């Protein structure tokens, strides 16, 4: 069963994970820039990270026949310092023409603060100026509802942003409708405790249709499962979903959205 992992933080994973994902049918991995678990002390730290995402990580993936793509930004967890964020955002244009860069992400909010909103607006402006796709992170747990509403308002207020070129990730039952109703794509993240389980993700699919949804593991340095997408595909099969519907969710949908970037090219079959 071939699939695309549209959101995984592979810099935090061991090489065995690449092997297991390749064995499970993974054709491509997309890696948004994220928080390292600690705050970086300078823009230079981000410069090195962007080099890692655009130079080193594609080579690790290629050893297992997996295409590697990435998104660039300063993550919302490091957005409280607006001056640092401005310096990091100024670095990004020099990386945008690298062949595996898909767009700006994962941008968004974490604690829904004024500075986070300001930095989100700066990222949205960057994406608009350089005609980039956007991948949005929505906050965790009790902050998700409010954060999603604020993010949707920021996206709507910038008239240069086309809704179908934005994926809003980590949706749950209380946020998915608002995202889809605005014309955006929605990502369901299969992550223990804080996001969706496979069963709930399939419930959302059955309630909201499969036209503009995808699934991802968002595997990172926390307790998470790089095989969450193929495991959920098996759960769909167990619940009687047709093979074509499963393939649409785990392969054709992410391919359709990501192909809006000229850099997204899968290896020839």
Partner 1 sequence: MTRAIDNAERREYTASGIMTREQVLDLDFLDARGKLIEIAAFLDRVERAKGQDDFRVKAFRQAARELNGSKKRRAEKVLLAFSDPTTTPIPAATTKAACGAWPGRPN
Residues binding partner 1 (CB under 8 A): 35, 77, 80, 110-117, 139-146, 149-150, 162-164, 172-174, 180-183, 194, 199-200, 203, 205-212, 238-242, 245
Min separation Cβ 224 and partner 1, Å: 16
Min separation Cβ 258 and partner 1, Å: 14
Q: Which is nearer to partner 1, 48 or 173 (CB)?
A: 173
Min separation Cβ 47 and partner 1, Å: 23
- DSSP reduced 3-state for 31: strand
Q: Which is nearer to partner 1, 111 or 265 (CB)?
A: 111
List the strands of the sheet with 185-189, edge to edge.
3-5, 26-32, 67-72, 101-108, 133-137, 166-169, 185-189, 213-216
Burial class (CB in 10 A: 0-12, 13-18, 19+), 38: exposed
Neighbours of 40 (CB within 10 A): 18
DSSP annotation of 196: B
Whole-number Å distance between alpha carbons of 71 and 253 = 18
Q: Which is nearer to partner 1, 26 or 154 (CB)?
A: 154
Burial class (CB in 10 A: 0-12, 13-18, 19+), 252: middle
Length of the chain: 269
Selection from 27, 121, 11, 123 nearest residue 70 by Cα: 11
Q: Which is nearer to partner 1, 30 or 167 (CB)?
A: 167
Q: How many CA atoms lie within 13 A of 241 on its CB side?
A: 22
Min separation Cβ 150 and partner 1, Å: 7
Q: Which is nearer to partner 1, 59 or 114 (CB)?
A: 114
Contact predicate 30/7, CB 8 Å: yes
Q: Which is nearer to partner 1, 166 or 229 (CB)?
A: 166
- DSSP reduced 3-state for 210: coil
Q: Which is nearer to partner 1, 55 or 211 (CB)?
A: 211
Min separation Cβ 68 and partner 1, Å: 27
Whole-number Å distance between alpha carbons of 166 and 257 = 9
């Amino acid at each position: 069963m071939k699939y695309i992992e549209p959101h995984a933080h592979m810099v935090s994973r061991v090489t065995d994970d690449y092997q297991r994902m390749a064995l499970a049918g993974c054709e491509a991995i997309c890696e948004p820039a994220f928080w390292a678990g600690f705050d970086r002390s300078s823009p230079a730290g981000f410069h090195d990270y962007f080099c890692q995402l655009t130079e080193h990580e594609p080579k690790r993936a290629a050893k297992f026949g997996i295409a590697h793509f990435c998104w660039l930004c300063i993550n919302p967890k490091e957005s409280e310092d607006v001056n640092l964020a401005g310096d990091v955002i100024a670095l990004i244009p020099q990386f945008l023409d690298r062949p595996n860069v898909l767009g700006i992400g994962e941008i968004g909010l974490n604690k829904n603060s004024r500075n986070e909103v300001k930095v989100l607006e700066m990222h949205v402006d960057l994406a608009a100026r350089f005609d980039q796709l956007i991948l949005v992170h929505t906050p965790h747990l009790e902050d998700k509802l409010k954060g999603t509403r604020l993010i949707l308002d920021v996206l709507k207020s910038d008239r240069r942003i086309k809704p179908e070129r934005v994926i809003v990730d980590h949706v749950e039952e209380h946020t998915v409708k608002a995202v889809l109703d605005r014309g955006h794509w929605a990502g369901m993240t299969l992550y223990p405790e804080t996001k969706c389980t496979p069963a709930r993700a399939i419930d959302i699919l059955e309630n909201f249709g499969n036209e503009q949804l995808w699934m991802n593991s968002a595997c990172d340095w926390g307790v998470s499962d790089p095989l969450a997408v193929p495991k959920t595909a098996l759960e769909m099969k167990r619940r009687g979903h047709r093979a074509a519907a499963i393939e649409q969710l785990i392969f054709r949908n992410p391919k359709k959205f990501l192909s809006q970037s000229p850099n997204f090219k899968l290896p020839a079959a």
